Amino acid sequence: MRVLPLIAALLLLTAPPLMAADQAARELDWLELMPKDEVDSLMDTPAVTHEGSFKQVQTGSFRAIKELNGLKVKIAGYIVPVEVDGDSQMSEFFIVPYFGACIHVPPPPPNQIILARLAKPIPVTEIYDAYWIEGTLNVEQIKNDIAASAYTLTTTKVSLWE
């Protein structure tokens, strides 16, 4: 009978540490989401302008960084609502690296957009403000009428960037 508690204690001491549910999320930079050769070419593109009222064509690739798949991350960005109900509650939104993306300027490349999914909808946020968005990052291709994305985020927290 005394052997069972001893075995349990030894297993706990020798087992690899488990990831805690409240483990801090890794802060992610937008450029970490794309291969280095694409980062270099992105730096050579012209500046984004917010002129005109028509939708422009998205360019870039879906090439993602596979090592980021399944990581708990935190990224700062702007929110573009995608799925909104009649009560102005959103359950999906794009996270984009700069204000105004996905509206009338060319959207960022797919590997610079993240589709965030919420288990519980939240009120539509202010589009002019930047937010910290946390959750589990997934390499997953998404295409819809607004833009395409190379990543999704199972979102656990949305907070104003300060």
Sketch the domain layout of the chain as residue ranges: 22-160
Q: What is the mean pLDDT of the segment spanning 59-66?
A: 93
pLDDT of 47 over the 80 cut: no
Residue 20 has pLDDT above 50, yes or no: no
In the predicted model, what is the mean pLDDT of residues 43-51? 58
User: How confident is the model at residue 10, as a pLDDT?
Assistant: 37
Which pLDDT band, with edges at 50, 70 and 90, does 45 fall under?
Answer: low
Q: Reply yes or no on domain 22-160 having CATH 2.40.50.870.
A: yes
Tell me the pLDDT tens digit for each residue of 77-123. Answer: 999 999 999 999 999 999 999 987 765 577 899 999 999 999 999 99
User: What was the pLDDT predicted at 12?
Assistant: 39
Q: What percent of the chain has pLDDT over 70?
A: 75
DSSP notation for the chain: --HHHHHHHHHHHHSPPPPPTTPPPEE--GGGGS-HHHHHHHTTSPPP----SSPPPP-S-----GGGTT-EEEEEEEEEEEEE-TTSEEEEEEEESSTTTTTTSPPPPGGG-EEEEEEEEEEPPPTTSEEEEEEEEEEEEEE-SS-EEEEEEEEEEEEE--
* pLDDT tier, 16 (very low <50, low <70, confident <90, very high otherwise): very low
